[in-house]
Each structure stands twice: as structure tokens, then as C-alpha cells.
Structure 1
């Protein structure tokens, strides 16, 4: 299993943003990441400073979203949809995106469901429940 470190993740996003801004060739994963980065101009300054990104600490008390976690969740949801895992997530996200009129706000709602599933897993000591996650996304898509 691929388990990048925090520094690996931050370097990936910063390097992707640097290459995108310099119009350098991007790998398929970098291309996807750059598309999500483009949708988040509030993160551009963070991603333009690799040293600062590697040193940054994001806490709840700061009242600010961790851009690397946020962008990683976009990539995770994109990957889940591309392979339809858990089975049915692609359709649920597409339905939610159609309801919201845009994939981006739909992803943000799916992030809430993904975060809840992970929190419940950590709290209970049980593996993440993909059925509960999918049900939560479907509820949002059908209300």
C-alpha cells in the first residue's frame, strides 16, 4: 500500500502547482491535482512556498482549512469515482453534482460524509464503513 508522508503530500501539491504555473508537463495525477488547485485560489500562496508548506501546522484553533488535506480529499473522491469504489459512489456523486449544478460543491459535501466515516472509524476502533459513507452521500443527493 502506498503511504506517503506528510512532507511527500505537501511536496507533491507544491511541485504540481509550480509545474502547472510554469506550463511544464504534468503526470495524469498532477493534471487532476492541478484542476482541483485551480478551483481553490485561496490555497495558491500556500502552494507557492514549499518551505512554508513543509513547516506549516494546521490546527482547529486556527480556524483555517488544511489545504493539503482538502486537496487530498478531492483526489481521493475523484479516484473513488473513477473506479466506482465503494460500488455506487460514482452514481451518487454524479447525482449530487447534478443537483448542485457543479461537481465542486458536490465534492465538498462528499468530503463531509468521508470525514464523518473516518471519524466514526477512529472513534469506534472499527474499520471504515463504506456502506454508511455511500448511504450518507446518497441521502444528500436525494434530498
Structure 2
């Protein structure tokens, strides 16, 4: 699997396999451990995570009011990595402060993910690189 540009099926298989290992108390890779931590926090996704073939076939449509669990979990992974390596610079401190303020790392990540989603949407709409300075400004306003 290309870690930097996986296919939709590869992403879904990664999460479903990691979930199966978690449920079976199997040995997880470091990345799977992070993913499993967030999957535990989202019991509403467990049914689809338990069914790889369904997961690969299912279309999660915003138009139908559906959240794509694989996109959501991928954003948790990305956010965790950004905070761990403090990129963009300052995100680690912002995450810690927001986690204390909300008394929940999970709630903090959800708010931070909203900011990231906005930056990514603007980047895609404008055909430009994501503006990480603007991202930090949005995070600082939380």
C-alpha cells in the first residue's frame, strides 16, 4: 500500500483489519494502534468496520446525510500525527490547551478537524496548497 496515496479500498481495508486485530487482542502496528484508539472512540462505526466487503462497497453520501467513517478516522490519524510532530509549528500546544479546556482530547480533535476541513475545502476550491498559516489562525481562535 502506498502510504502517501492509498486507494479507497486500501484505506478501508487498513481500518477494518486494524479493527479486527483490536477486537481479537491481536498485535497492532504503531499506526494501527493509533487508528484503533480512535475506532474505540467511535462505536457508531463498529458495524461497518466489522464487514470489510460491505465497507469497500458502501457509498457514504453527504447528500444522504451520511458521515464517511473512513474519512473521519483518517482525519483523526492525520490530526494525531500533526500534533505529535508539532506541524504546523504550534499545533501541539493548541491541542493541549483545547484538550484541557474541553476536558476531552476527542472533542478537541473534532473542533480542530473542522478547521482542517475548512482549509482543505478552500485549498481544493481554489486549486492551491493548503494555507497552514490560516489553519493555525483558525485553531488559535478555538
Normalising by the smaller structure, the TM-score range is: over 0.9
Q: Tell me, in whole angstroms, the C-alpha distance in 2 between the residues paired with 1:31 and 1:125.
A: 34
Q: Tell me, in whole angstroms, the C-alpha distance in 2 between the residues paired with 1:15 and 1:62.
A: 27
Aligned equivalent of 1:85: 87
Aligned equivalent of 1:26: 28
Q: Say which is worse superposed, 60-69 or 72-81, in terms of deviation.
A: 60-69
Task: State how 1:114-125 maps to structure 2 within 5 Å.
Answer: 114-125=116-127
Q: Tell me, in whole angstroms, the C-alpha distance in 2 between the residues paired with 1:87 and 1:113.
A: 16
Shift of 1:53: 0.2
Aligned equivalent of 1:105: 107
Aligned equivalent of 1:74: 76
Shift of 1:95: 0.9
Shift of 1:126: 1.3
Q: Tell me, in whole angstroms, the C-alpha distance in 1 between the residues paired with 2:85 and 2:65.
A: 34
Shift of 1:104: 0.3
Question: Which segments of 5 or more consecutive residues in structure 2 lack a partner in the other structure?
Answer: none
Q: Tell me, in whole angstroms, the C-alpha distance in 2 between the residues paired with 1:98 and 1:137.
A: 15
TM-score (norm 1): 0.95
The answer to whether the aligner puts 1:13 opposite 2:19 as a matched pair is no
User: Which digits, 9 at most, give the CA deviation of each residue in 1:70-117, with x for residues without a partner?
Assistant: 000000000001110001111111111111111000100011000000
Shift of 1:125: 1.3
Question: Which segments of 5 or more consecutive residues in structure 1 lack a partner in the other structure?
Answer: none
Aligned equivalent of 1:59: 61
Q: Tell me, in whole angstroms, the C-alpha distance in 2 between the residues paired with 1:118 and 1:37.
A: 23
Aligned equivalent of 1:135: 137
- Match of 2:106, SS? helix
Shift of 1:10: 0.2
Shift of 1:36: 0.3
RMSD, aligned CA: 0.9
**Matched residue count:** 140
Aligned equivalent of 1:96: 98
